A and B are shown apart, each in its own frame.
Chain A
């Protein structure tokens, strides 16, 4: 069952989306989508305490109106013929630099609008949730300002029509992420977590910058359409370099291996931040970047293989870490990492896989955001307790949270007909399709994806059962209660999305819709029968969930309040597979040694030279100062000595 891929010039396929046609007013209005949250953020930050009373309302309104505009643009897009759906338009001339003349432009197409709708819709819900969640925080206005700033930057990221504009949004979300992770920066570990996320992202940004520099030197352009048109004839080496640099950027932003270490610590931020930024939207920007740069990756098969490997490693890495974490939010973060690994894997599979990557991204945005909001609700009820070993039996006290969380749980497990089934199972199926005729790849990545599904089922079920089922293990001081409506309503909406979104998207032909923006894909046949894969997946999921039930959910199961001593693998998983240790040993220590050496060289050589010069001059000055004794007779003696010397020289020369 070897996949018969028609040999077409790589890149040419991806250019199917023409950039012709005129931009409609609705699409052109997309700049408002970015501007509204940005202006709102600026207002909230500049108005200061005066805006404390109404700041959160403005903060909610901005993404809500942006969502309405996005819907308008979306229906406008649907009304256009398929060939004219990709619309590029320039807002203003940005960098007029001779051969490099870059405008500040937006690209409105199926892909970007999908993101716009996801970001604004989920964003609006989380804003509403935050109104209640942050009600008692004195800095709630600032929180909303940062959230709006994030939304604006994220929208700029997805709407950009060139890598440089994208980079502005890319940095903007990084900044917002930093500000929000460290929102409670009065706690040192939170501030350190923010810094860690920022630094890890900088490593990725380095890749982004390298990619843009290579593009500039090779293509003299960073605009998407121009770069992609060059990609069809550029040398494979150049494209591989660009693709790998872009992948580095994606790894940094999406917490993929080997830059994954910051995501767990990023849970230091308020839970709505974790839901919006570190689950639904920002961390998926890497996937967006890889999918958007599809023509480049398509022309660089080696880089695509690296994408697959990174995705597969991260998928398993996150799943293993998620199995051992007792911190509810960190377990969810590990799950996010793992799910983005799925997306990355799919994005590396080519145009068809990319469609499912985006689809999984959308469904994941709903159910993971819903689960994070549920986690926030639980924390709200349990006095900010996050240790799952001290939960249990919450289903009786928090019915809505329990039910909405259950929807998310079933969705991520991929139980039909929940949302995850339609996206994740498709990815697993695509992973079994041999790309470029490499059958071993199909087996390796398919198996990894399949194994990941089982692990996902185990750790998500573990989380779900430990929190909501089993015996109550909390202390008497905690009084679990349901959260207010402002918090539950967004959870309910997201839960509805978790249930129906996959079905709706599939029925509505989302893959065909999105494929218009990407390229024509070539549906290859998996190396295994599709129904067999589906059955195996379901069996593994059920097995994983059943094990979790036996150990953590059933009436007979006992969950110790303190983590028991266990074998090496689980200890390693609890310690994030020693990622921090490895980073510390490989990067931090040598870096510190390098810096220390540089400092020593600076003080010893550079400063030493300067100080030595100063010392020399001082010494000479001290000696000369003795000549300056104020005795006029000494000066006269000096003059006379000079006269004698000069006369002697004249006499000597005169010979």
Chain B
């Protein structure tokens, strides 16, 4: 890397190696960043941005900042973007952004303003005159992290401390923001058993799929002793997706005439991966609204009856 930087010490013109680097990585960075604008699914966007971050890290290294390049990869790609993806998973990985604009003219306005910003920035760039590039090799003296550390713990010591405070506060803030005050007693195993008995629910774990069947795949429902289908035996995710195999498809000979096809099972129930189903049932909360209805209903109305139950922070 220092080789690349040294090649560029000639001043205003990039060295050939740097040109190669720049014109290879630059378009990749821009293209992957454009996914922010055009990718429909958030996960795709997150992955593209990760690529952007890595590309930028490469450029940082090319600019004579290997330490920052590493930090970029570690912090952005490794931590921040992972956090984004984690949150994406938390809120539903397949939530896709509708491109139907709700604010009239906002997209055109955004485009217009983007072009305007590009124009003024380009104008500024065109106007500006730059001095000869000096390069950071001299001050880095072959040990860029060491040089940064020297500066960081001398001139920028106070800033460093303040930033440390900021990080602690941010961590506490995240804890506070995501913390949920328990409104009810924590349920023990005995309590849950009592609830199940009272509600007439199954005490034992659901039967595994494929029991007494020709196939033991997870998408094939189990049969009970009477030969009837046990719906619960198929994982909820598969049922929700409608990927349950019917008996009709796998074992025609075992199918009793009166057994209804499993396809008729309700598919509109979203299984909440965040909230523990049993706890919710014990707290007698209303079932979470279906995603489709939440999308269709006016924004303010649908979630309101859920909010007070979940958001109460003091008992």
Contacts and interface: CB of A to CB of B under 8 A. Distances in A.
A637 B124 contact: no
Given A634-B103, A648-B120, A654 B113 contact: no
A68 interface: no
B103 A647 contact: no
Given A640-B113, A644-B113, A654 B106 contact: no
B161 to A, nearest CB: 31
A651 B113 contact: no
B106 A637 contact: yes
A640 B127 contact: no
A647 B127 contact: no
A654 B128 CA distance: 10
A74 B116 CA distance: 104
Interface of B: 103, 106, 109-110, 113, 116-117, 120-121, 123-124, 127
27 contacts: A629-B103, A631-B103, A631-B106, A633-B103, A633-B110, A634-B103, A634-B106, A637-B106, A637-B109, A637-B110, A637-B113, A640-B113, A640-B117, A641-B113, A644-B113, A644-B116, A644-B117, A644-B120, A647-B117, A647-B120, A647-B124, A648-B120, A651-B120, A651-B123, A651-B124, A651-B127, A654-B127
Given A634-B106, A644-B116, A644-B117, 11 more contacts: A633-B110, A637-B109, A641-B116, A643-B117, A644-B113, A644-B120, A647-B117, A647-B120, A648-B120, A651-B120, A654-B127
A654 B116 CA distance: 18
Nearest to B120: A647
A343 B95 CA distance: 108
Contacts of B110: 633, 637
A37 to B, nearest CB: 74
Contacts of A633: 103, 106, 110
Q: Which 7 A-B pairs have the closest CB atoms?
A: A647-B120, A644-B116, A640-B113, A651-B123, A648-B120, A637-B109, A631-B103
Contacts of B123: 651
Contacts of A651: 120, 123-124, 127
B65 to A, nearest CB: 27
Contacts of B127: 651, 654
Contacts of A631: 103, 106
Nearest to B110: A637
Nearest to B103: A631
Contact of B121 (A634, A637, A647): A647
Nearest to A641: B113
Nearest to B126: A651
A648 B127 CA distance: 12
Interface in A618-649: 629, 631, 633-634, 637, 640-641, 643-644, 647-648
Contacts of B120: 644, 647-648, 651
A631 B299 CA distance: 12
Contacts of A641: 113, 116
A648 B124 CA distance: 9
A637 B117 CA distance: 11
Contacts of B109: 637
Nearest to A652: B123
Range for the number of chain A residues in contact with chain B: 10 to 19
A626 to B, nearest CB: 12
A589 B110 CA distance: 69
A647 to B, nearest CB: 4
Interface string A574-587: 00000000000000
A615 B279 CA distance: 56
A641 B120 CA distance: 11
A228 B121 CA distance: 91
Contacts of B116: 641, 644
A652 to B, nearest CB: 10
A637 B103 CA distance: 12
Contacts of A647: 117, 120-121, 124
A138 B113 CA distance: 87
A410 B106 CA distance: 106
A520 B62 CA distance: 123
A637 B120 CA distance: 16
A487 to B, nearest CB: 86
Contacts of B113: 637, 640-641, 644
A654 B109 CA distance: 27
A238 B308 CA distance: 85
Contacts of A634: 103, 106
Contacts of B121: 647
A118 to B, nearest CB: 87
A641 B127 CA distance: 21
B13 to A, nearest CB: 26
B272 to A, nearest CB: 27
Contacts of A640: 113, 117
Interface in A566-615: none
Contacts of B106: 631, 633-634, 637
Contacts of B117: 640, 643-644, 647
Contacts of A654: 127
Contacts of A648: 120
A53 to B, nearest CB: 71
A647 B127 CA distance: 13
A633 B106 CA distance: 8
A634 B127 CA distance: 31
A370 B158 CA distance: 106
A523 B117 CA distance: 108
Contacts of B103: 629, 631, 633-634
A628 to B, nearest CB: 13
B63 to A, nearest CB: 25
Kindly name the residue among B109, B113, B127 whose own CB sees the greatest number of chain A CB atoms within 10 A: B113
A127 to B, nearest CB: 79
B47 to A, nearest CB: 24
Kindly name the residue among A637, A644, A651, A654 whose own CB sees the greatest number of chain B CB atoms within 10 A: A644
A651 B116 CA distance: 13
A608 B195 CA distance: 72
B186 to A, nearest CB: 37
Contacts of A643: 117
B129 to A, nearest CB: 12
A640 B109 CA distance: 10
A243 B289 CA distance: 95
A79 B121 CA distance: 111
B31 to A, nearest CB: 23
A476 B117 CA distance: 109
A478 to B, nearest CB: 85
Contacts of A644: 113, 116-117, 120
Nearest to B117: A644
A560 to B, nearest CB: 89
A423 B44 CA distance: 122
B88 to A, nearest CB: 20
Nearest to A655: B127
A375 to B, nearest CB: 84
A647 B125 CA distance: 12
Contacts of A629: 103
Interface in A492-532: none
A631 B105 CA distance: 13
Interface string A307-324: 000000000000000000
A634 B106 CA distance: 8
A631 to B, nearest CB: 5
Nearest to B128: A654
A644 B113 CA distance: 8
A22 B117 CA distance: 99
A251 to B, nearest CB: 77
A522 B136 CA distance: 122
A502 to B, nearest CB: 99
Nearest to A649: B120
A651 B123 CA distance: 8
A647 B118 CA distance: 11
B250 to A, nearest CB: 50
B26 to A, nearest CB: 23
A528 B103 CA distance: 108
Nearest to A651: B123
